[in-house]
Chain A
């Protein structure tokens, strides 16, 4: 099973600043990585797939990078609606599909 880790667990950011979230895979997953945004009481939303491809309707301030075992999600100029929990997920080797533990982005 591929284990996904994320850092930091919590990131405190001021509106308008940049947030950088990291995700690691326990073995190479190529670019088979997705990022999701999840707010309490809502459906998770796909942000990024293929490590760097923005999903339909996702603003340009969200960008993903990386390959192999190290990945980054960058959120430029954070807006109020961006405060949420962010998860990475690998879909290279399955079952199981595995998620990282999440990074909570909150207001500084």
Chain B
């Protein structure tokens, strides 16, 4: 079954760290660029980060650069997002997204909720 399943969400205090994972199945994971996209409560979608198919190239939104790190393990078909120095405004549902060749998201996970408390 072609799917992405996120895990690792939860409640964390401001300033602490959290690591999200995404398990991919049903497609050749190592061939595709992957994204993280988030949705804050009551807000729209916000792109967070991108990693190339081989992991050599990474990009970040200004709001998370220097605090978040995207990585992938192609042997294990997993994508991760290590989040440090979390802030209240990082509270959101984080979606793992497979990018099609044109770099739009053609497969999305159900999302993992991250709540940052004071």
Contact = CB atoms under 8 A, between A and B. Distances in A.
18 contacts: A34-B105, A43-B95, A43-B110, A43-B111, A45-B108, A46-B106, A49-B104, A55-B106, A87-B44, A91-B102, A95-B60, A95-B61, A96-B47, A97-B35, A98-B47, A99-B46, A101-B44, A102-B45
A97 B105 CA distance: 11
A43 B109 contact: yes
Nearest to A44: B108
B76 interface: no
B47 A99 contact: yes
Contacts, number: 63
**How big is the A interface, by class?**
20 to 34
A49 to B, nearest CB: 5
A11 B103 CA distance: 28
Interface of A: 32, 34, 36, 38, 41-46, 49-50, 55, 87, 89, 91, 94-102
Interface of B: 4, 35, 44-47, 50, 59-62, 95, 100, 102-111
Given A43-B108, A44-B45, A50-B102, 18 more contacts: A32-B102, A36-B105, A38-B45, A42-B110, A43-B109, A43-B110, A44-B95, A44-B108, A87-B44, A89-B104, A89-B105, A94-B59, A95-B50, A96-B62, A99-B47, A100-B44, A102-B44, A102-B45
